[in-house]
Structure 1
Amino acid sequence: MTLAYDVSGTGPAVVLLHSGVCDRRMWEPQVPALAGAGYRVVRCDFRGYGETPVADRPYSDSADVAELLEHLGVERAAFVASSYGGEVALELAEARPDSVTALALLCSAMPGHAPGAELRSFAEREDALFKADDLAGAVELNVRTWVGPEATEEARDQVRHMQRQAFELQWTAEHSSTPRAELDLARVTAPTLTVSGAHDLPDFHQIAATLANQLPAAHHLELPWAGHLPSLERPAETTALLIRFLQQATSGA
């Protein structure tokens, strides 16, 4: 199996897809609660994150996740996805609509989204730090940008550690995942919750609202306290929200 992963609990499958500044450890607060609520919880590290090495050839993150689910015998699953993980979940839901039972997209990215001014500025600053070989500075820029005001220092340190490890793994990588240029959102039929944070960059408000308007069975919720990583910023509140949504979505409510 290409991806490092772990599985907890029994019941309907819920797949957790991490953000681009974290790895599967970002879901530590959610795993026991979701397993305790009666779900089989699957989480994985994309290539170049956590315990999964970088790729030695061109690849697709969504194809990797599909391969993992086939390996585990999971035919249908709900997805809870953060940021870049949301982009991967949308690709899977568009390609395999009958196999996705629900989507909870936390501050999700979206294939084909054109970055706004603030996101472009962030990317330019990050690129300048990389060119200066200032990996520590790039890590701190990401922590300042993506971790919201409600996060504890422990959560900030967790993001700092995960982002640093990802940068170190990817520093000399020759290949990166190639996302879809655009999606046919009409094919994404699963009940969907799009979440945005009031303290996040404007791009992610726009994406959440766009998805809620264009997906056939979606609604948008903005969290007034959240930055970009609500599952780490207020884990108990976010976990309760996710469980409530999954129970309603999978029961047909």
Structure 2
Amino acid sequence: MRTYDEGRGRPIVLVHPGLSDGRRCGKVAAILASRYRVLRLDRLQYRPDRGAPVRVELEAEEVLRLARSAGEPVVLYGHSSGGVVALEALAASPASFAGAVIFEPPAVIGPPLSGEGGEVLRRARAAVASGSPGKGLAIFMRDTVELPDPQARLAGAITALIPRYRRLIPRQLDDLEALDRLGVRLDAYATIKLPTVLLGGEHSPAHLAERLDALQRVLPHAERVVLPGADHGADLKRPAEVARVIRELAEKVFAG
């Protein structure tokens, strides 16, 4: 498990989203590290040395190991599919955490993310297998993420041109399958009694706000925060605002 350990102070753990590695959280981590010890890891699903596709529960176990290494309850941040991993870690061992910020997790709240019978996943994987990873990612971006078709095609084409990200496209599809296999976990998340901020962007796809709505209904101590003018990539485009939300929660729970 490759980890990053920056700064000094009370501990914060960051869990990155899909189609990325631990470096994705670097901007937010650099801001927080001026006041806190910031720990992050390369998620197991996206590591080049991983074997078969992994379950969300196994990724949550790695997050727990990292959190426990801090020696005290940590503040946890999880972004997108990393947010689902974070929710699983919170539900598995609430005593390991002081609070959490969860940014637009694509938690299953009804039908599978990959469509009826996994048809989105089948089409995307067929495209990758035929030598068109950009097309496969575009299918995922359009039919699961719900980006407009031109934007999904552009994202797929650009991503496939960059070797570092091109190799992650099949892992993104594995991540999608893992989320569907996990299924609806709202009952488990209802047991999370920690202070939790459910963070979203004003211009993110509507289904992500619906998933935050579902989580807000079951999490007993959840606060909803929407970043005006932001979207699902706010951690990269507006890291100071994301860091501010994490810092404000950290100040509150560590002071208690």
- Give the TM-score taking structure 2 as reference length: 0.76
The 3 A distance-change label for structure 1 pair 91 and 168 is closer
**Which residue, out of 185, 204, 210, partners 2:189?**
185
8 Å CA contact retained: 1:34, 1:243: yes
Q: Residue 211 of structure 1: CA displacement? A: 1.5
SS in 2 for 1:114: coil
| Alignment partner, residue 55 of structure 1 | 51
1:207 corresponds to 2:189: no
Q: How does 1:53-132 map to 2 (within 5 A)?
A: 53-55=49-51, 60-70=58-68, 72-110=69-107, 113-115=110-112, 123=121, 126-132=124-130
8 Å CA contact retained: 1:19, 1:82: yes
1:197 corresponds to 2:201: yes
8 Å CA contact retained: 2:4, 2:39: yes
**Which residue, out of 229, 232, 238, partners 2:233?**
229
Q: Distance in 2 between matches of 1:232 and 1:97?
A: 28
| Alignment partner, residue 19 of structure 2 | 21
* Structure 1: runs of 5 or more not aligned: none
AA partner of residue 53 (structure 1): D
Give the percent of matched residue pairs that are identical in Structure 1 and Structure 2.
Answer: 23
Q: Distance in 2 between matches of 1:103 and 1:23?
A: 20
8 Å CA contact retained: 1:139, 1:164: no
AA partner of residue 226 (structure 1): A
Q: Distance in 2 between matches of 1:117 and 1:244?
A: 35
Q: Residue 131 of structure 1: CA displacement? A: 4.3
User: What do residues 154-197 of structure 1 show as CA deviations (whole Å, max 9, x unaligned)?
Assistant: xx87xx6654232366899xx96964752422320111110122
Q: Residue 32 of structure 1: CA displacement? A: 1.8
Q: Which has the higher helix share?
A: 2
| Alignment partner, residue 167 of structure 1 | 169
User: What do residues 113-156 of structure 1 show as CA deviations (whole Å, max 9, x unaligned)?
Assistant: 5347999886566345324331133345667858999xxx9xx8
Q: Distance in 2 between matches of 1:169 and 1:214?
A: 30
* RCO comparison, higher one (Cα < 8 Å, 6+): 1
| Alignment partner, residue 136 of structure 2 | 138
Q: Distance in 2 between matches of 1:53 and 1:107?
A: 28
Q: Distance in 1 between matches of 2:214 and 2:48?
A: 32
Q: Distance in 2 between matches of 1:215 and 1:26?
A: 27
8 Å CA contact retained: 1:147, 1:233: no
SS in 2 for 1:10: coil
Deviates more, 1:117-126 or 1:20-29: 117-126
Q: Distance in 2 between matches of 1:10 and 1:147?
A: 39
Q: Distance in 2 between matches of 1:74 and 1:52?
A: 29
Q: Distance in 1 between matches of 2:87 and 2:104?
A: 13
* Structure 2: runs of 5 or more not aligned: none
Q: Which runs of 4+ in 1 moved over 4 A?
A: 56-59, 115-125, 139-149, 168-172, 175-178
AA partner of residue 76 (structure 1): P
Aligned length in residues: 240
